[in-house]
Amino acid sequence: MRFYSEEEYLLQKQSSERSMWASSVRAATGNRKHQFWEPQLSPPALLHHVIVILMSPRRAVSLGTVSRSASCFEVSQIRVVQPRCDYVTRHSKSASKGAQYLLLRAETYNDLGDAIKDCDLSVAFTRWIPSGRSIPSYDLPALMRHPTMQTLIKQPVDNCKGASEECSVAEAPQVFSTAPGANSESDHKSQQGVDESPCKVRDVKVALVFGREELGMSDEEVETCDIACSIPIGRLQESLSLSHAVSIALSGIYAQRLEFVSQGGADDGLGYKATSAANLADGYDASMGIEV
């Protein structure tokens, strides 16, 4: 058997436009002190208010591949609950492919409840819903129609990035909640005319929770979340790999968010789309909003 070589690939005629675009994207994250660096995107990251939470990952490389997936869809936060390994290693850094800034700044929690307490909606991704339990279960299309997801998808991209940090869950209005009567305090404030400046309406946060590589999430962990979601797969495998599940979930949210932003006109949506090498000049990718 003769193996295909890298030299043969390099001899093939490549699109100069594609090469320029790829080089620009790689340069954006390729030579940075990732522990202190954060992408400065203009317009802002589309999924800044989506948080990926991993339950007790066993392999460091899993954190690396998930970091890459999260970076692909402009997610800004990864949280790890009770990790079973030192996840910042040479292998995980290599697997992150330019998303080391997410890997190095991932936050660690001892309890799932603490990891999701500042989120308006927490979604447990699992194939198995505990029998006899009442946790609402969704497929991916139904999840996209959930009121809180729709609020996330349709919230303005130019909102203050720090709005969620400045307003705590207790003091800011909850746009939607799965718990009965959870909005009573904010409703009371509205009726009394309480001024909640500078955050009149706080951006919602959504947590996507994924289980262990070989075991998934326990029944108790699933029930800790607000709702559950199942990604349909065929009969020949028990489950998807962790990074693939994360990618599928984020891709659906990102696509709808991008579609909503693009409906506002060319100026609103163009900044999120890589169209051609004409967008690239002097080391600046205008289509991605990344300075290099």
Rounded CA gap, 267 and 111, in Å?
43
Contact indicator for 116, 224 with CB cutoff of 8 Å:
yes
Domain of 59, CATH number, reads 3.40.1280.10
Prediction pTM value: 0.74
Share of the chain above pLDDT 90, in %: 43
Is 82 among the domain residues?
yes
In a domain, 182, yes or no: no
pLDDT bracket for residue 26 (50, 70, 90): low
Look at residue 45 and tell me if it is in a domain.
yes
User: Phi, psi at residue 145, to the nearest 5°?
Assistant: -90, -5
143: helix, strand or coil:
helix
Least Cα distance to 223 among 132, 109, 150, 142 occurs for 132
pLDDT score, position 229: 95
Mean pLDDT of 254-277: 65
Query: What is the extent of the structural domain holding 120?
Result: 40-154+200-264+284-292
Report which of residues 120 and 178 the model is more confident about. 120
**Does residue 62 form part of some domain?**
yes
Contact 151, 159 (CB under 8 A): no
Where helices occur in the chain by DSSP H, the ranges are 6-11, 16-30, 60-72, 90-96, 100-104, 112-116, 140-145, 147-154, 163-166, 184-192, 219-224, 242-262, 266-270
